[in-house]
Chains A and B, each alone.
Chain A
């Protein structure tokens, strides 16, 4: 048995790695502010032809699918100079999304629109693109630092707060018990929506009896809600941080025979399977529109590439409360383009 040989091999590996480490590496340790001198992104004016790369965190969530559609739709409508909108799916995988961005850099796209899976792991990729002179529009989720052209997104904390205020002022006017189904732990929107909700119900005798993560998806939320209804059959309002999770919780209440629970969601996607239709059908008491930013991203792209004007570094998109009264109207409005 050649355990010694294995030992030698292991040592050899370690030495090789040590050598590599030692031999004058140009590391990206200078990732800090000093960085490479950034090139000024070019502006080709109205006669230019542009390729847009879209790096989407995943297409498993209907919200993101809609974002891609909005980008394509408005690119066709507002920016006829765009010859190609190339959408790549990061598959909820930071490494895959980083590779997607690298490929866009290699392909030399004229503009990158990215909705990052997570902030920290994709900061470097966004920075690389930006420093190569590619204007970068970051949608929905942020990256760290300021090495991007423009960030466009909703205000998750404010949306959570409005949801809390709605629960306090419309559903539980004399206080009561609330269950919460959060998004994926570790994601910023989940935290911000939670914090905002707490702020919205503050001082209103409303008790969040339990909070569980439904990881943004319907089936996980359904399982968690089933358990929550068993432990707390007296929950009066279920606040889910996303409409699919609210629908999952609704199904759980149905199967537990709880008819009087009210459901509040967030996202308000104007699609047949989305939250606005669920409000219209009476399954959810309310939802709050979380805009995809697709239209605003293309507007910013137009400003930047065609009009040669600066774009704001941060753009916060307002939400809209959707209840049974205005559901049909909001649905039509958001689909008009």
Chain B
């Protein structure tokens, strides 16, 4: 125990080389996993899989899950969980569609309004968790129901379709950019939104005081409080950011489908948690990062894509993806003792 602790306190450079290599591999397990799956996919389908349009489509298809997973990473880092993100995505997709198609909002006011709803929803969950000490699991389980209910009421229980002015509908054509492609019709916008969010979040979790507070709370909440970390506000803000990102994912969702449906986004929270776990974060908090999560989300995306391209039976796909999640979680048991949470 003491020896392990001593090792941990050493600078990486002073460690024996073997240990450093192993530590690095485990730290970026999903990145290596992604590379491995990528190579495997290229071997299995050298003709179609590596085509740029297909790869960009993989990033696009992973975008909603990836954005949710980035928010989920932060919540999991503080030792929490957010089961509401799928419902919030559904609520936001309905919200943006109703505001644009029925309430006559302009694009930016509608987007800001929906992001605001997500932020406030997250903050309320954060308050229930941090201030009133209700477990995150319970709070967000309730939040999941509440958001779904709001989505149903907001939409009148029906899908709300977005028809653009150029098609004779009420919605400004500007909003079509979210589901469209840029750079001469090659790069899907959802992929760009995902990458921008991932980069911002990675920078945010590396360079701000706030991020040190997040890791400190996840590592040891009591110690963090005693050393002056504003635990309450940090937690509330983390849930707020997660809600905000879920709302953003909902806007991307609606933009891609030209439709907001109150039933959409079911079980998306589980996909997001899976991406975080594959990314190497610990569900007890304090360990993990955005880079790992993003690689985790892309790993699942590549896997789904190659399984579909090879025409693997849908039922079998579920089993394979399930096994991959268990395997990567199992990998954590092999971590050197000094790296365990």
A residues sitting closer than 8 Å to B (CB atoms) are 1-2, 5-6, 9, 12-13, 16-17, 20-21, 23-32, 59, 84, 86-89, 91-95, 98-100, 102-103, 106-107, 118-124, 144, 184-186
Chain B 161-174 against A: per-residue CB contact (8 Å), 1 yes, 0 no? Answer: 11010110000011
- CB-CB < 8 A to A102: which residues of B? 57, 61
Q: Report Cα–Cα, A25/B177, bound state, in Å.
A: 7
Given that A1-B210, A2-B210 are known contacts, is A121 also in contact with B196, CB under 8 Å in the complex? no
- Within 8 Å by CB of A31, from B176, B210, B253, lies B176
User: Is A27 touching B158 in the complex (CB atoms < 8 A)?
Assistant: no
Given that A9-B204, A93-B264, A186-B158 are known contacts, is A25 also in contact with B182, CB under 8 Å in the complex? yes
Q: Report Cα–Cα, A59/B313, bound state, in Å.
A: 12
- CB-CB < 8 A to A93: which residues of B? 264, 266
User: Is A26 touching B185 in the complex (CB atoms < 8 A)?
Assistant: yes
User: Is B200 touching A31 in the complex (CB atoms < 8 A)?
Assistant: no
**B256 interface residue per 8 A CB criterion:** yes
- Within 8 Å by CB of B196, from A2, A17, A59, lies A17
Given that A21-B174, A27-B176, A88-B308 are known contacts, is A121 also in contact with B181, CB under 8 Å in the complex? no
Nearest B-chain residue to A87, judged by Cβ: B314
From DSSP, what is the main secondary structure of chain A's interface residues?
A: helix
Given that A16-B196, A31-B167, A121-B257 are known contacts, is A6 also in contact with B237, CB under 8 Å in the complex? yes
Q: Report Cα–Cα, A316/B141, bound state, in Å.
A: 44
User: Is B258 touching A121 in the complex (CB atoms < 8 A)?
Assistant: yes
User: Is A185 touching B158 in the complex (CB atoms < 8 A)?
Assistant: yes
User: Is A106 touching B180 in the complex (CB atoms < 8 A)?
Assistant: no
**B48 interface residue per 8 A CB criterion:** yes
**B197 interface residue per 8 A CB criterion:** yes
Tell me the smallest distance from the CB of B310 to a CB of chain A, in Å.
9
User: Is B197 touching A106 in the complex (CB atoms < 8 A)?
Assistant: no
Q: Report Cα–Cα, A120/B257, bound state, in Å.
A: 7
Q: Report Cα–Cα, A183/B181, bound state, in Å.
A: 36
Q: Report Cα–Cα, A320/B210, bound state, in Å.
A: 67
- CB-CB < 8 A to A106: which residues of B? 48, 51, 53-54, 57, 309
17 A-B contacts (beta carbon < 8 Å): A6-B204, A13-B200, A17-B193, A26-B180, A26-B181, A26-B182, A28-B181, A89-B315, A94-B264, A95-B64, A95-B264, A106-B53, A121-B161, A121-B257, A121-B261, A184-B263, A185-B157
Chain B 54-68 against A: per-residue CB contact (8 Å), 1 yes, 0 no? Answer: 100100010010000
- Within 8 Å by CB of B164, from A2, A31, A103, lies A31
**B208 interface residue per 8 A CB criterion:** yes
Q: Report Cα–Cα, A16/B197, bound state, in Å.
A: 10
- CB-CB < 8 A to B308: which residues of A? 88, 99-100, 103
User: Is B197 touching A13 in the complex (CB atoms < 8 A)?
Assistant: yes
User: Is A95 touching B176 in the complex (CB atoms < 8 A)?
Assistant: no
**7 additional contacts, CB 8 Å, given A1-B234, A92-B263, A102-B61?**
A2-B209, A13-B197, A25-B182, A28-B181, A100-B308, A186-B157, A186-B261
- CB-CB < 8 A to A24: which residues of B? 182
- CB-CB < 8 A to B196: which residues of A? 13, 16-17, 20
Tell me the smallest distance from the CB of B109 to a CB of chain A, in Å.
13
Nearest A-chain residue to B196, judged by Cβ: A16
Cβ < 8 Å to A, chain B residues 304-324: 304-305, 308-309, 311, 313-315
User: Is A94 touching B261 in the complex (CB atoms < 8 A)?
Assistant: yes
- CB-CB < 8 A to A59: which residues of B? 314-315
**B12 interface residue per 8 A CB criterion:** no
Tell me the smallest distance from the CB of A278 to a CB of chain B, in Å.
26
- CB-CB < 8 A to A27: which residues of B? 173, 176-177, 179-181
Query: A-B pairs with the 10 shortest C-beta distances?
Result: A27-B180, A121-B257, A120-B161, A89-B314, A29-B176, A186-B158, A29-B173, A121-B259, A26-B185, A86-B311
Q: Report Cα–Cα, A98/B61, bound state, in Å.
A: 9
**B137 interface residue per 8 A CB criterion:** no
Given that A28-B176, A106-B57 are known contacts, is A1 also in contact with B230, CB under 8 Å in the complex? yes
From DSSP, what is the main secondary structure of chain B's interface residues?
A: helix
Q: Report Cα–Cα, A118/B314, bound state, in Å.
A: 20
User: Is A23 touching B182 in the complex (CB atoms < 8 A)?
Assistant: yes
Nearest A-chain residue to B244, judged by Cβ: A10
Q: Report Cα–Cα, A66/B196, bound state, in Å.
A: 44
Size bracket of the B interface: 35 or more
**B184 interface residue per 8 A CB criterion:** yes
Q: Report Cα–Cα, A93/B177, bound state, in Å.
A: 22
- CB-CB < 8 A to B298: which residues of A? none
User: Is B253 touching A107 in the complex (CB atoms < 8 A)?
Assistant: no
Tell me the smallest distance from the CB of B178 to a CB of chain A, in Å.
8
User: Is B159 touching A121 in the complex (CB atoms < 8 A)?
Assistant: yes
Chain B 256-284 against A: per-residue CB contact (8 Å), 1 yes, 0 no? Answer: 11110111101000000000000000000
User: Is B184 touching A26 in the complex (CB atoms < 8 A)?
Assistant: yes
- CB-CB < 8 A to A91: which residues of B? 314
Nearest B-chain residue to A59, judged by Cβ: B314
User: Is A123 touching B258 in the complex (CB atoms < 8 A)?
Assistant: yes
- CB-CB < 8 A to A2: which residues of B? 208-210
User: Is A20 touching B189 in the complex (CB atoms < 8 A)?
Assistant: yes
Tell me the smallest distance from the CB of A71 to a CB of chain B, in Å.
14
User: Is B208 touching A124 in the complex (CB atoms < 8 A)?
Assistant: no
Given that A118-B259, A120-B159, A120-B161 are known contacts, is A20 also in contact with B182, CB under 8 Å in the complex? yes
- CB-CB < 8 A to A5: which residues of B? 208-210
- CB-CB < 8 A to A9: which residues of B? 200, 204
Cβ < 8 Å to A, chain B residues 212-240: 213, 230, 233-234, 237
Q: Report Cα–Cα, A6/B263, bound state, in Å.
A: 32
Given that A106-B57, A118-B159, A121-B259 are known contacts, is A88 also in contact with B314, CB under 8 Å in the complex? yes
Q: Report Cα–Cα, A20/B196, bound state, in Å.
A: 10
- CB-CB < 8 A to B315: which residues of A? 59, 89
- CB-CB < 8 A to B166: which residues of A? 29-32
Tell me the smallest distance from the CB of A201 to a CB of chain B, in Å.
24
- CB-CB < 8 A to B174: which residues of A? 21, 29
- CB-CB < 8 A to B57: which residues of A? 99, 102-103, 106
Nearest A-chain residue to B192, judged by Cβ: A20
- CB-CB < 8 A to A185: which residues of B? 157-158
Nearest B-chain residue to A85, judged by Cβ: B311
